Structure 1
Amino acid sequence: MNAKITFYLLDFFKFMSNLSFRFDGLVYWNNLSQIESLIDIYFNQIINFLSAFTINISSNLIMNECSLRKIHPSIRKQRSKMNFAIYKHFIF
């Protein structure tokens, strides 16, 4: 999971650095229509990154739940509550 998150972060920051460079040039030339479209692209990229990040976390939590079946019931219940709290924090 850490490798996937690192990949998403690197891709995200690379995209944002390219976008900010283009954005600075457009502000200099006062091209408002292109600035608006770049802002849309910017926020769409943020939403895509956050949704991919959330899907990775939730899929890992589901896999953790599946592996809990082999553990003693008291530990399973405690870990299940902890996983739900983490899941709730990122989703809601």
Structure 2
Amino acid sequence: MHRLNELDNQLESLLAVNSDVASDLLQGLLQQREQLLQQLMAAPECLNKAEWQTAVERTTSILARIRHHRDNSAGQLQRFQRGQRSMQAYNKFR
């Protein structure tokens, strides 16, 4: 569980910024986390219920932050695409 806490802290610090997130680093950390969770679930008798509940809550928080970043990126992409179309229309009449 200690390694899971470390990974979660790394993810939280990576997602705490309001700017773009390094997607390759995020993907790597999430893959490590998934593998670690699978290992932990393979031996459920070794898990402390309170620690597991805390890990579930952190998962919810991490997913919410990822959704927030995804939604922000989608909004930026839409604004960029609208700007591109406006420039194309402007250049057509130049």
How many residues are treated as equivalent by the alignment? Answer: 69
TM-score normalised to structure 1 length: 0.54
Q: Does residue 32 of structure 1 match 2:46?
A: no
Pairwise CA RMSD of aligned residues? 2.8
Q: Matches of 1:27 and 1:58 in 2, distance apart? A: 41
Alignment of 1:9-88 (within 5 A): 9-18=27-36, 20-21=37-38, 23-24=40-41, 27-72=44-89
- Any gaps of 5 or more consecutive residues in structure 2? 1-20
Moved >6 Å (runs of 4+): none
Point out which structure has higher relative CO (alpha carbons under 8 A, 6+ apart): 2
TM-score normalised to structure 2 length: 0.53
- Any gaps of 5 or more consecutive residues in structure 1? 74-92
Question: Which of the two has greater helix per residue?
Answer: 1
Percentage of identical aligned residues: 1
